[in-house]
Amino acid sequence: GDSVTQMEGPVTLSEEAFLTINCTYTATGYPSLFWYVQYPGEGLQLLLKATKADDKGSNKGFEATYRKETTSFHLEKGSVQVSDSAVYFCVQGAQKLVFGQGTRLTINP
């Protein structure tokens, strides 16, 4: 069945470091792809999305490109901030979502 595998955490970085969180998926078709973020004590928020191959989603300095050939949707940010500390989920689907296991990111000042 459909699945999402993302980089295991936790990940700890210093402020202003470069961030990559890897994500790959398996699907029978060409699903929409998302990154959702969960800040401490809160629900999930959509961070960015891509609905077809080669689309690049971006928001708040984060980017991810839908790569059909490698079935990947890696999350990147050039310079992280303490406020980016959260759990990040790679997700596929449209309404019935399939989640990766989540990656906890901690940014130290």
Partner 1 sequence: NAGVTQTPKFQVLKTGQSMTLQCAQDMNHEYMSWYRQDPGMGLRLIHYSVGAGITDQGEVPNGYNVSRSTTEDFPLRLLSAAPSQTSVYFCASSYSNLGPSSYEQYFGPGTRLTVT
Residues in touch with partner 1 (CB under 8 A): 4, 32, 34, 36, 42-46, 49, 51, 89, 94-97, 99-102
Smallest distance, partner 1 to C-beta of residue 3, A: 10
CB nearer partner 1, residue 72 or residue 99 = 99
Any idea what the Cα angle at residue 101 is, between residues 56 and 12, rounded to 5°?
Answer: 80
CB nearer partner 1, residue 1 or residue 109 = 1
Q: For 10-45, give one letter per residue: b (16+ CB within 10 A) or e.
A: ebebeeeeebebbbbbeeeeebbbbbbbbeeeeebe
CB nearer partner 1, residue 17 or residue 52 = 52
In whole angstroms, give the CA distance from residue 83 to residue 39: 9
Smallest distance, partner 1 to C-beta of residue 43, A: 4
Smallest distance, partner 1 to C-beta of residue 16, A: 29
